[in-house]
Amino acid sequence: MPNYESPALYIDFARLPPPDVIETIDFEVLLKRYQDDVLSKNDKLAAALKLEQSPTNIVLEAEAYGEMLVRTRINSAARAVMLAFSKGRDLDNLAAFFGVERAAGETDESLRRRAQLAPEAFSTAGSEGAYIFQALTADPTNVRDATAVKMDDRGRVKITVMARGSNPVPTTATILLVRDRINSKGIRPLTDVVSVVPVRPITTQIVANIWLYPGPDASLVMADIGKALQKVRDNVSLIGRDLTRSAIISALNQEGVQSVDLISPAENVVAGTDQCVIIESAAITPQQLRVE
């Protein structure tokens, strides 16, 4: 039997190509268009258009600026109806189309993900995405991530829940909220036996030595490394995401770095479907190469 996986679980909005409807706006291009249009009607104004402070140019600049504002507003309106870009009240109204309402204190990022997953909940067959949506919806301000795994052929399903904040392990209250929602008669398929468990964190530390080329300010290089490592943290701090040595080394290899010696972790940190990787600390020691 073919295995059909839901695109909603894997589509990363950040990797989508820019929409064609979003226009790149350039004031100088708009102004040149106005100037060319005027010259096509009266070429005797060419000298006046060469003077930036001429009345003719001032009027055309005002017209071009006004058109730029209108085009910018059109871009904003287009983004407002796209799930990948919508924000604030625009996102509230867009999510309502999917039957999703923002919880008190819920972020745009959380609401956007729930809206993306909402069609999964239209299924009455208990798809993976449907269970994840219901887990996120049970407590949107406290549940950061969730997974649903089929345990066997007898209908046993395990839902793993990860909390927001510095401690990824959810409270008992959050687990109960998720459990009660998923096991309610209107949501859980009759043939499924669902358990809800907290995520199991895997803690690790990053320890590395780096050698810098002569010249670059070490503080600037370290700042770039810090930003790159934060992206690694953000990427792996979800359920089931592995922390690979290659990702860490790539983050450490910023402009100005000659070589990297990654000491810890000594091997890839592999997370199971009920685990998440937590990077507790990062100790990066810079060394300057000797100038012979």
Amino acid at 22: I
Q: Which token pair is 14?
A: 């950040």
Tell me: do 232 and 184 sit in the same domain: no
The answer, yes or no, to whether residue 90 has pLDDT greater than 70, is yes
Q: What is the pLDDT of residues 35-67, one digit of tens each?
A: 898 888 888 888 887 787 888 888 999 999 999
Residue 235 falls inside a structural domain? yes
Q: Total domain count for the chain?
A: 3
Residue 106 falls inside a structural domain? yes
Task: From 92, 96, 189, 110, select the one nearest 150 (Cα to Cα).
Answer: 189
CA distance 221 to 265: 22
Residue 87 falls inside a structural domain? no
Residue 153 falls inside a structural domain? yes
Model pTM score: 0.75
Tell me: do 177 and 262 sit in the same domain: no
Tell me: do 161 and 241 sit in the same domain: no
CA distance 82 to 80: 6
Neighbours of 69 (CB within 10 A): 11
CB 73 within 8 A of CB 22: no
Confidence category of residue 5, pLDDT binned at 50, 70, 90: low
Q: What is the pLDDT of residues 111-154, one digit of tens each?
A: 999 999 998 888 766 788 889 999 999 999 999 999 999 998 88
**3-state class of 67 per DSSP?**
helix
Tell me: do 193 and 105 sit in the same domain: yes
Position 6 scores a pLDDT of 56
CB 146 within 8 A of CB 159: yes
Tell me: do 68 and 111 sit in the same domain: no
Q: What angle do CA 192, 271, 13 make, to 5 degrees?
A: 80
Amino acid at 229: L
Position 158 scores a pLDDT of 95
Tell me: do 58 and 129 sit in the same domain: no
59 Cβ partners below 8 Å, 6+ apart?
A: none
Neighbours of 67 (CB within 10 A): 16
124 Cβ partners below 8 Å, 6+ apart?
A: 189
Tell me: do 210 and 255 sit in the same domain: yes
CA distance 244 to 204: 12
Q: Give the range of the structural domain holding residue 148, as residue numbers without chain letter.
A: 95-198
Residue 90 falls inside a structural domain? no
